[in-house]
Amino acid sequence: MGEALSYIFGECVVIFFLYKRMLQYLRFFQQEEYKTARFIDWYYNRWAFDKKGSTIILIALFAYVLFSITPWIFVVAALLLLGIALTEEDPKRDGKVTLKMTQRASRIFEVAILSIIILSLSIFYFLYSKNLISFWLIQILLIQSIPFWLILANTLLSPVEKSLQNKFLSEAAKKIKDVNPFIIGITGSYGKTSTKAALGEILNVCLAPTFWPPKSFNTLMGLTKHIREELRYGFKFAVVEMGAYGKGSIAKVCKLTPPKAAIITAVGIMHLERFGSEENVYQAKSELAQALPEDGILVCNGDNDGARRISKEFVKKTTLLYGLDSSKGQLDCKITNVIPTPDGSNFEIEWKGKVYKGQTKLLGTPALSNLAASFTMACILGADPEFVLAAIKNIQPVENRLSISKSQGIVWLKDAYNSNPVGFAAALDVLKEFPGKRKILMTPGMIELGQKQFDENVKIASRAASECDMIFVVGKTNRASFETAAKTVKNKNTGIHYLSSREQAFEEIKKISQEGDVILIENDLTDLYEAPISF
């Protein structure tokens, strides 16, 4: 009886366990964009192999073999496995980056789970009531092999994926050709999503119906999906964010959506690891300017060296520079006299020899720089500057992009995405100037800065340590930078706390925060780097 149950019940539970656990791995496979090498890197870096399940089975096996305990021990082990499977977090709901069951994710999951279940059932069939020890040893192997099945399923499905992608691509290309909107491409190391949203909204209200994909969809396939589903006849403009994921990726997007105008927000050192060198980042971003026709419109951030260089190297019929600081050279559109207010910022904008007064609910110089980009593009496309400024006044801050929220006398400045040296510094500017008693910073630091990672983090950490009353450093990735900074800065009172997870940091902050505090959450790390996952 006990033996039969330890086979049958064990088999059922293990299948359920495999199912739940595979979804967990799939979430990270998806975050690594289904790239085998990146997924394997993640797996090794995080030691993401199963520990809990395998340990339980191993203990049961030892007890069974060494102490000749009854086979019921495996039923107990199976119950424990069931407990783990039932209490693990839901990857579709929990965590900062959740699993999105897209069609592709579903296909990979179905193939992988079916394969592993068939294998598991065959093993059960051959070993049932023959060799309990081998049966359970093999269960450990099955559990450990889950990531492999995902990779295998993805590899097997890649021809299917490829042909589907091609079909979608050609459908999207045809739609672009039929609707024929005036396409404005936006790229840059940071600021492109906010600029896209602002420009889309401005053109839509100030000029003509405008298509702009929501959120930060900026990959070729993400764009393809939105074009197929949302682009309709009547759209006169399309604002397309183009993310650079390596050399040639922007050129590919430009083929699908050939731009007539472009905005380069910045060429920075973000994602340096992915590109190898700063020159490579520059080359990748300049693909957008290269894709413009000679009579196109090129609008570049004059405050950024790389963007300025692109404007000189790829001169178009209309080439314009915008910015907040003319120390690097002439600007066609310049924002000056920025005054932060509790509701946002007041500013002045110089355009074609006239000075206009403006207001915005947004905070920080990067946000204003993005608004200058949108203003320049909208005006050169024929919008009335006064109308554009009216539309700018209505633009709502995007949640988590240096957005303000107030509760119980405490101000939270949330800046959770794509923290980079410029954005981080600007957020600190806002924190410094924002009226309040204690200034508190919570951050895991910046990532993906390649060889500059340590130094850049030390730089920003030193500044933060001298300006903030308290700092909560999340995770281990940049802990050393903050420790170094703490030693060099002689600010007697800054308390630096090191915490292992975002949740813990939030709990600590909740405990110590009091009325009058201004708390900046500066954090761009995905679950991959920060959440303590344990399998």
Residues near other proteins, by CB under 8 A: 204-207, 357-359, 383-384, 386-387, 389-391, 393-394
Which is nearest to 293 in space by CA: 261, 325, 322? 261
Query: What tokens appear for 23 in the block?
Result: 């979804």
Which is nearest to 333 in space by CA: 295, 371, 366, 292? 371
Helices (H) and strands (E) in the chain, counts: 19, 15
Query: How far is 83 from 87, CA to CA, in rounded Å?
Result: 6
Q: Which residue lies nearer to other proteins by CB, 209 or 222?
A: 209
Query: How far is 112 from 117, CA to CA, in rounded Å?
Result: 9
Q: Which residue lies nearer to other proteins by CB, 55 or 396?
A: 396
Q: Which residue lies nearer to other proteins by CB, 340 or 450?
A: 340
Residues 336, 359 contacting (CB under 8 angstroms): no
Q: Which residue lies nearer to other proteins by CB, 391 or 531?
A: 391
Instruction: Locate all alpha helices (DSSP H) within 216-338, ordered by sequence.
Output: 220-230, 249-256, 272-275, 278-291, 305-313
Terminal CA-CA length for the chain: 31
Smallest distance, other proteins to C-beta of residue 398, A? 17
Smallest distance, other proteins to C-beta of residue 405, A? 19
Residue 216 in 3-state DSSP? coil
Smallest distance, other proteins to C-beta of residue 217, A? 22
Q: Which residue lies nearer to other proteins by CB, 280 or 359?
A: 359
Q: Which residue lies nearer to other proteins by CB, 179 or 208?
A: 208
Burial pattern 198-223, b for ≥16 Cβ within 10 A else e, equals bbbbbbbbbbbebbbbeebbbbbbeb
Smallest distance, other proteins to C-beta of residue 199, A? 15
Smallest distance, other proteins to C-beta of residue 386, A? 4
Residue 359 in 3-state DSSP? strand
Q: Which residue lies nearer to other proteins by CB, 227 or 391?
A: 391
Q: Which residue lies nearer to other proteins by CB, 111 or 389?
A: 389
Smallest distance, other proteins to C-beta of residue 396, A? 11
- CA distances for 230 relative to 157, 176, 196, 202, 285, angstroms: 27, 11, 16, 19, 27
Q: Which residue lies nearer to other proteins by CB, 117 or 205?
A: 205
Smallest distance, other proteins to C-beta of residue 389, A? 7
Q: At what angle do helices 249-256 and 220-230 cross, to 10 degrees?
A: 20
Q: Which residue lies nearer to other proteins by CB, 378 or 499?
A: 378
Smallest distance, other proteins to C-beta of residue 340, A? 17
Q: Which residue lies nearer to other proteins by CB, 383 or 460?
A: 383
Smallest distance, other proteins to C-beta of residue 346, A? 10
Smallest distance, other proteins to C-beta of residue 206, A? 6
Q: Which residue lies nearer to other proteins by CB, 389 or 441?
A: 389
Smallest distance, other proteins to C-beta of residue 18, A? 29
Query: How far is 493 from 503, CA to CA, in rounded Å?
Result: 25
Query: How far is 391 from 529, CA to CA, in rounded Å?
Result: 38
Which is nearest to 472 in space by CA: 439, 435, 448? 439
Query: How far is 225 from 217, CA to CA, in rounded Å?
Result: 10
Which is nearest to 142 in space by CA: 125, 164, 117, 169? 117
Smallest distance, other proteins to C-beta of residue 335, A? 16
Query: How far is 416 from 427, CA to CA, in rounded Å?
Result: 11
Residues 343, 435 contacting (CB under 8 angstroms): no
Which is nearest to 191 in space by CA: 318, 2, 10, 366? 366
Tokens 């495999």, located at residue:
18
Q: Which residue lies nearer to other proteins by CB, 17 or 375?
A: 375
Query: How far is 289 from 305, CA to CA, in rounded Å?
Result: 15
